Chain A
Amino acid sequence: MLSTLDTDLRRTALSADEVLAIRRRRRWSMLAVVAALTVMVVWSIDVTVIEDTDWERMGSVASVLESAGRFMGVDWALFPDLVKPAIETFMIACLGTLLGVIICIPAAWFGAMNITPFKPLTYPLARLMMTLSRSIHEIVWALFFVAVVGLGAMAGIFALAVRSVGFIAKMSAEAIEDINPGPVEAIRAVGGNGFQVLRYAILPQVLPQILGVIVFEWEINIRRSAILGLVGAGGLGLVFFRQMNTFNFPGVTTVIIAILGIILVGEVVSYFARKAVI
């Protein structure tokens, strides 16, 4: 803001009074925004926190701390039971990402302005797909797929795939729109067809970027797949809720540690994958 003010000054050579007037106006509008924000905060706090909370059930600070304290400790006995679900969670994330990438190919192709086959139809279609995929939470997608394909890993894979299409396709389409058109022209000039242009001129340019996005989404999918058990889509989430429902709070902590463990594995793998891509 200061810099724009400076240029204003230089351009029009205002008097000191006018400068102060501008500043005052700025300050007023700033103040108005802050005031509006504050009112909203106060109102929201009033509604969400003060009115809506069951203060009696929560009790004193001490009892809150006590109920938080129940989560201290680790249920070592649970670990053997976590191995299979942890592997499942990891695999659901991998397969979900893979399927997402496959669905992504047409979505990115249709959704990139410069290569979309029939702009008035395919472009909006792809954009709609992307937005729909991103705006629905993975839990909702999982609910839907559980209803369609039944309980189990398959529903989780589909949910993750559909959920990740939006982001991967959006980033890929943007990468495709940003390519250097020179090589495209060169491949056309040697007599290449559309597929050859895609394979030789477009793909090599965007591949590193897209792989980076895929690895990024895969990491997020590991995180997501750990909660899909909530709606019956398999993996660690199921164990988590079982511990919660049986009030085995150290067990809950154990499951969270296991989740952090596979996320760490994911981070390590993605670190090396990124290095390999570049």
Chain B
Amino acid sequence: MPARSRALWFAAMGVYAFLYLPLLIVIVFSFNDSRLNARWTGFTLDWYAKLLGNQQLLTAAWNSLVIALAVTLISVLVGTIAGIALSRYRARALSLLVVTPMAVPDILTGVSLLVFFVMIHLTLGMQSVILAHVSFCISFVAIVVRSALTNLDPHLVEAARDLGATPFIAFRKVVMPAITPGIVAGALLAFTLSIDDFVITFFTAGAGTTTLPLQVYSMIKVSITPEINAVSTLLMVMTLSLVVLASRLAPETIRT
């Protein structure tokens, strides 16, 4: 190997180590038989078993799941319609307005939503968190659906009409099958974005409601226990597999 490409190889390895070593440590120590995160003493599944007994944590996980499912459902419905509209009316301003919320800092979104909810007298809780998550998940679904439609051969719809399909049947038989992978990918994205959101949830959850990320945060304020490593590992496995699935379904939109 020439010196230059060897240097490049080491640099790349360094970057990967930096990206994945912390995650790896969390996973490894979630199986560690010691209360301290310092030394490996032996393999155990105790921490995972303990999770099942932690009522607060289970409630938080349940809330997160309900929120994520509701967010996914609403975002897919509204986002798909938005994506179809975007591909039909190709005005740049429209796409920009849909993409912008993805770029706005979470803290700004969180604060402004909080102010808005208080202004319209919406009681903070599950419902406000769902609305808040929907507001940024719609954009992702809309973008994925629009891109699936852009890749669709426009002659396909014409061919269907030509061969006897009404506009509605043509949409159902030709457009829907083509954009379904995009919609599913959008749904998976919405789900993962919702389930591990912290900042926006923090602002909009109110006092009584807690979600998994919020619960984990309040636990580490006391101390970082192997129990947290176990929760984090589970969360990580779930989100990673959903992201991989989404990228398989819509490879043009979400590149891996």
Tell me, yes or no, whether A binds B: no
A residues contacting B by CB (< 8 A) are: none
